[in-house]
Amino acid sequence: MTEIFSLKGQVAIVTGASRGLGYEMARAVAQSGARVYLTARGADQLAVAVATLRGQGLDVVAKAFDLAEPDACVRAIAEIGAAEGRLDILVNNAGINAWEPLAEAKSATWDRVMGTNIRGPYLLCREAARLMVAQGYGRLINIGSAMAVAGREKITAYVASKHGLAGMTRALAAELGPKGVTCNMMAPGYFLTDINTTILARPGYERGVSGRIPLGRWGNPDEVGGVVAFMASKASSYMNGHVLVVDGGLTETFVLPVDG
Taking every pair of C-alpha atoms in the chain, what is the biggest distance, in angstroms?
61
In degrees and rounded to multiples of 5, residue 19 shows phi and psi of: -160, 175
DSSP 59-99: -EEEEE--TT-HHHHHHHHHHHHHHHS---EEEE-------
Angle (CA) 23 94 226, round 5°: 40
Which string of b and e fits 159-198 if b means at least 16 CB within 10 Å? bbbbbbbbebbbebbeebeeeebbbbbbbbbbbebeebee
In degrees and rounded to multiples of 5, residue 156 shows phi and psi of: -55, -45
> What span, in angstroms and rounded, lies between the C-alpha atoms of 57 and 31?
9
> What span, in angstroms and rounded, lies between the C-alpha atoms of 182 and 198?
36
Which of 191, 194, 53, 22 has the alpha carbon at shortest distance from 121? 22
- Catalytic site positions: 158
Q: 219 CB contacts (<8 Å, ≥6 apart)? A: 188, 189, 190, 191, 192, 246, 247, 248
